[in-house]
Structure 1
Amino acid sequence: MKTLIIDDEKRSRHLLSNLIAEHCPSIEEVYEASDLKLGVDVIKTEHPDIVFLDIEMPNQSGLDILEYFPEKVDFKIIFVTAYNQYAIEAFKLSAIDYLLKPVDITELKEAITKAKETIEAHNLSGQLNKLRNSFRQLSMDKIALEIPKGILFASHSDIIYFEANGMYTNVQLAEGKQKIICKPLKHFVVQLSDNAMFFKCHRSYFINLKYVEELVRDDGDYLLMSNQKRIPISKSKHNQFLEIVKETFM
């Protein structure tokens, strides 16, 4: 991790820098700045993870740091000062911690540990959000099927039909494989309700219209799928199916 010390007192900067070097191995780089403006320049160029910030400085108070970052603060602030009356103001700015001069080694370690944990939690949250976005993109074309030994990600276009099997569902894939999924048929009907290619033709079947080869009017109407599977079409769905055919192909 990188850190920056902003303090107008050179001796205070060097003392804190030495304490960090001796007792805080997680800090790999330490930068220094003698006032807030110079410190802001370092933040923008070096992007430190933690900023140790003196509050009482001649030109500008450390409490004014947020004026330079109105939109986003992507570093953790630990205020360091000899005057504890600033504590309440400091924490109103969401400081990670507050250290009084002279800095106590134990309190310094605890403050850095707290900052590190917050940074790691933030990074994990960011990684999870990226993963969520990736899965959202994936879900636009694929569906997650919970098989007994894991999860199978199948493209919508590779599914020929879903078949009810009690509290489970048989999924027939275009490549000839059939999977037993640990979800009832209703789950997939709801999940794919916005996908116009899927049609519930019968209480036990939810089909991909892409794979319908023929509507057969013989011994009760049924749909002949591309894998030669005969799937019944209920009377209540018959007219709806014909309407879809007319709208699409005629």
Structure 2
Amino acid sequence: MKAVIIDDELKARSVLKTLIKEECPKIKQIKEADDLLSGIQHIREFQPELVFLDIEMPEYSGLEILDFLTEEEVNFQIIFTTAYNHYAIEAFKLNAVDYLLKPIDSEELKDAIDKAEKLIGNKDLHKKLNELKTSLSESNFKKIGLPNSNGIKFVDFNDIIMLEADGMYTKVSTTNEEVLVSKPLKFFVDTLSRINTFYRPHRSYLVNLTYLREYVKKDGGYIVMENNKSVSISKDKKEEFLAIVQSI
């Protein structure tokens, strides 16, 4: 069998590839991609039987794979690799779509591959993925996974005060602590865009307007959050920002 791993994190891809080689010798060839579009190119050229697909990636979510492939091109099985919380996991179970929860367990990996192998050639994956997207968009899960040295910490959206870009990392300030996460700010912008209390006043910041303390006009205009941090407002965002806060 052939497989493609699509995950934006190099470490996650390396760990999964090692586990596959150790536990699943029937998979002889493995290609890797660090974003969805590169992964789709591998799928078209490599024609794998299995695709290990991360959900939370910058630019495009793994769930958007159907936006780039026709139903005829989906002739493989997908095993999602995810750090989603338990609300979303229920959606996976409901729609009979297989997943591996990070950090990945070797026994669960073997079981998932065995299950997927039996379904190769099954043509209902396209329908299942569409149903999964609908279930996830309608679900009430309100937490996000923040990778750390111990694993993944799940934080309620409502407890996030602000996020600040730090190169390819992001400083996440919550009501309890500040965490440096190995994800770019754009990842969080894409993930939290469906929540109307989050706003991006500047390319380097994403703030939760629930924790807005004050707006200061001087120095071009900036805002102060409840954690006493000041956040700049881009010139092209000032008018939009003022309109939003006046409507709160």
Band of TM-score, shorter chain: 0.3 to 0.5
TM-score (norm: length of structure 1) = 0.45
TM-score (norm: length of structure 2) = 0.46
Larger radius of gyration: 1
Structure with larger RCO (C-alpha < 8 A, sep 6+) = 2
